[in-house]
Structure formats: C-alpha cells, structure tokens
C-alpha cells in the first residue's frame, strides 16, 4: 500500500513540473525545438554507447575496491551522477551569441538559470544520500550482528 501511495504522490508532483517544462517550449523557435529533438536522440545514443557501458565498468571496478555492503549505494550514486552530468551537458554547453536568450547576458545557455550551482547541489545531494545509506547499512549490519550473537547465546543455554 505504501509503495502505491508514494508512486501516486510522485506522479501527481511530476505532472505540474512536466507541464511547466512543456510550456517553456511553446515560446521557443523552431531551431531550438529541433535542437531539443537532436539532443534527445543524442541522449538515447549516449545512453547505449556511454552511460550503460560506464555503469557496467564502474560496477566491476567498485566490486573489487569497496566492501560488499557499500556496493548498492555507491553504484546507485555513481549511476545518478553520470545521468545528472549527461542531462546537464546540453544546458551547460555555451550557445552561440546569436542564440542566447534575450536578457541573458551572464549565461550563454538556453535559459537564464544558475546551472552550475544546480548541478553542484544535485551532486552533493546524491553523494550525501550515498553516505547516509552506507552509514545506515553499517548500523543495520552491526545491529543484526548483535542480535545474532544474543540469539546464539540464548540457544546455547
């Protein structure tokens, strides 16, 4: 029941955000819309050619270096980091002078947003969650070990 509620909340939260994103596209030029389609197609190709193989390689590398209990959070954090970086690249990539949004003198990107700050915050949040999960798993494992020890003491008597 809880998973269904969480999914419903996420879907309901995503609808207005998606609508906002689509509404931003209505005022764009045909060239900008074409550019978005090209980036989306490039994203699919990048997923199959870069993202998936990099995740596989990272998974194998992490398994040889880190303790087993760290694998899930670290691999999830690495995958999320790579995905965020791939998604950030198109908007961080400087646009030609002729295509800079009106009134956007300080940022040569598609919209007047602090993309570098947003990217930094997103990556910090991802890795803070990884640390929280690693610590939580460590404490959960320690609690399980203590519980297992007390069970074996009781069964010996």
Over residues 48-59, the pLDDT tens digits come to 998 789 878 888
- What DSSP line would sit under 57-106, residue for residue? HHHHHHHHHS-GGGHHHHHHHHHHHHHHHHHHHHHHSPPPGGGSPTT--S
pLDDT at residue number 107: 56
Residue-wise pLDDT for 119-156, tens only, equals 999 999 999 999 999 998 877 766 666 666 655 555 55
User: What is the distance, to the nearest Å, from the Cα of residue 35 to the centroid of all Cα atoms in its chain?
Assistant: 23
Six token digits for residue 154 = 């009781």
pLDDT at residue number 101: 59
| Overall average pLDDT of the 29-49 stretch | 88
Neighbouring CB atoms inside 10 A of 64's CB total: 6
Whole-angstrom CA distances from 152 to 139, 142, 143, 155 are: 20, 15, 14, 5
- Classify residue 43 by burial, with Cβ atoms within 10 Å: 0-12, 13-18, 19+: middle
Six token digits for residue 14 = 């995503």
> Bigger pLDDT: 40 or 110?
40
Six token digits for residue 68 = 């087993």
Q: For residues 7 and 13, give the distance between their C-alpha atoms in angstroms, rounded to a whole number.
A: 10
Q: Which pTM does this prediction carry? A: 0.56
Question: What is the rounded average pLDDT for all residues in the chain?
Answer: 81
Neighbouring CB atoms inside 10 A of 24's CB total: 11
CB 36 within 8 A of CB 110: no
Residue-wise pLDDT for 11-26, tens only, equals 999 999 999 988 888 8
Six token digits for residue 145 = 């070990």
Residue-wise pLDDT for 59-94, tens only, equals 888 888 888 888 889 888 988 998 898 888 877 776
Q: In this model, does residue 29 exceed pLDDT 70?
A: yes
């Amino acid at each position: 029941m809880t998973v269904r509620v969480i999914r419903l909340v996420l879907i309901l939260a995503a609808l207005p955000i998606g609508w906002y994103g689509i509404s931003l596209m209505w005022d764009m030029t045909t060239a900008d819309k074409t550019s978005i389609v090209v980036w989306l197609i490039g994203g699919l190709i990048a997923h199959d050619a870069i993202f998936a193989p990099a995740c596989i390689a990272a998974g194998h590398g992490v398994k040889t270096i880190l303790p087993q209990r760290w694998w899930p959070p670290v691999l999830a954090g690495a995958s999320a980091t790579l995905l965020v970086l791939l998604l950030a690249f198109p908007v961080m990539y400087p646009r030609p002078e002729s295509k800079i949004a009106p009134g956007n003198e300080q940022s040569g990107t598609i919209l007047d947003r602090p993309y570098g700050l947003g990217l930094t915050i997103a990556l910090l949040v991802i890795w803070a969650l990884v640390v929280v999960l690693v610590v939580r798993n460590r404490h959960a494992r320690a609690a399980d070990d203590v519980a297992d020890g007390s069970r074996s003491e009781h069964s010996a008597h």
